[in-house]
Amino acid sequence: MGKNRTLLATTVLTLSALCIFANSAFAVTLGGTFWSDADNDVQYDAGEPGIEGVEVWLCTGFPNGKFTQLAVTTTDSGGNYSFSVSGGDVFVFVESTQFNNGEALSGYSILEGEIYPDNDIDYDNNGLAHLSGGIYSNNINLAPNSEPHDGGNANYTLDFGFVESQSGPAPVPEPATMFLLGFGLVGLAGISRRKLQR
């Protein structure tokens, strides 16, 4: 009986180790960077800052239709994020609430970029405006041993660029502009008065 228990325990441990090995062997990492595109060229350039604190969803399904959230993460201080994926078609989604005051993307606007993210090109912008007001990428297909990074088991090319919104106080008219505007209004008033006298 003791030998059978030892054999059973050894078998269970061996199977568990094989399962752990299998899961790690077939996991693919998907990631990228959220950054502030200072020169608005839809490409990440050295020195352009990452955007920290963006809540990022990993999803499956149809980006502008029915989809399922698989996981959630947050960008780090460099704007980087990553997910562990078993493979297949997935995409990234960011809710419109991330653009609200006080949120990570407050004061930014999305730059629409490359609509086909499954090209293994790094540092291009893969973000698109979503019908909900958020942003998303189109589906990217992932498979073990076929990706561009970490020996074929990682893809860090799903990046998103943003520009700072051009909002602020309205410019104050110069004195000369105000004088010309006033002169024009006086002239219009005179024309209207003459028409009424006729």
Higher pLDDT, 40 or 160: 160
At 182 the pLDDT is: 54
pLDDT of 21 reads: 37
Domains in the chain: boundaries: 28-164
Distance between CA atoms of 120 and 85, rounded to whole angstroms?
16
> What does the alpha-carbon distance between residue 136 and residue 128 come to, in Å, rounded to a whole number?
5
Q: Mean pLDDT throughout 32-49?
A: 92
In percent, how much of the chain has pLDDT > 90? 61
Higher pLDDT, 100 or 40: 100
Distance CA 186, CA 198 (A): 19
Lowest-confidence region among 64-78, 125-139, 166-180: 166-180
Max distance between CA atoms of the chain, in angstroms, equals: 121
Question: What architecture (CATH level 2) is domain 28-164?
Answer: Sandwich (2.60)
Per-residue model confidence (pLDDT) at position 69: 97
User: What's the one-letter identity of residue 137?
Assistant: S
Which residues partner with 164 through β-bridges? 108
In the predicted model, is pLDDT for residue 28 greater than 90?
yes
What's residue 6's pLDDT?
Answer: 40
Alpha-carbon distances of 173 from 139, 176, 177, 178, rounded to whole Å: 49, 8, 6, 6
Looking at the predicted structure, is the pLDDT value of residue 140 above 70?
A: yes
pLDDT digits (tens, 9 = 90+) for 149-169: 999 999 999 999 999 986 544
Range 165-169, long-range pairs (CB < 8 A, 24+ positions): 165/107, 165/108, 165/109, 167/107
Q: Which helix (H) or strand (E) holds 35?
A: strand 28-36
Q: Tens of pLDDT along 41-92?
A: 888 999 999 999 999 999 999 999 999 999 999 999 999 999 999 999 999 9
Q: Are strands 140-142 and 154-155 parallel, antiparallel or unpaired?
A: unpaired
Q: Is this structure's pTM higher than 0.85?
A: no
- Does residue 156 contact residue 149 with C-beta atoms inside 8 Å? yes
